[in-house]
Amino acid sequence: MAEDSPKRRKANFNEAETEVLIEQVLKHEQLLFAAGPGRASAGQKRKVWELIRHKVNPVAACPRDVEDL
């Protein structure tokens, strides 16, 4: 039986994480946020977010999921 413990919050993003996240989102802004007929599929966007996650986690205070980003 699973324990009924409350879910704990992750630590706030530190300065290094924030810098990497902003840098990477700006680098991939067109792909992530473009509208219209030429926009990326959900799968393509997910791959980019995974790439960004791999760039953020080395400087992260705790491991981040794509949903955290």
| Digit-coded pLDDT (tens) for 33-63 | 988 887 899 999 999 999 999 999 999 989 9
Residue at 31 is within a domain: yes
The reply to whether 8 falls in a domain is no
| Residue 28, domain member (yes or no) | yes
69 in a domain, yes or no? Answer: no
| pLDDT at residue 8, as a whole number | 82
**Number of separate domains in the chain:** 1
In a domain, 1, yes or no: no
Q: Which residues are within 8 A (CB) of 39 and not within 5 positions of it... i.e. 6 or more apart?
A: none
pLDDT for position 44: 94
What is the extent of the structural domain holding 55? 15-63
Q: Please report whether residue 27 resides in a domain.
A: yes
Answer whether residue 5 is part of any domain: no
**Predicted confidence (pLDDT) per residue in 10-38, tens digit:** 889 999 999 999 999 999 999 999 888 87
In this prediction, residue 4 has a pLDDT band, given cuts at 50, 70 and 90, of: low
**Do the domain assignments include residue 68?**
no
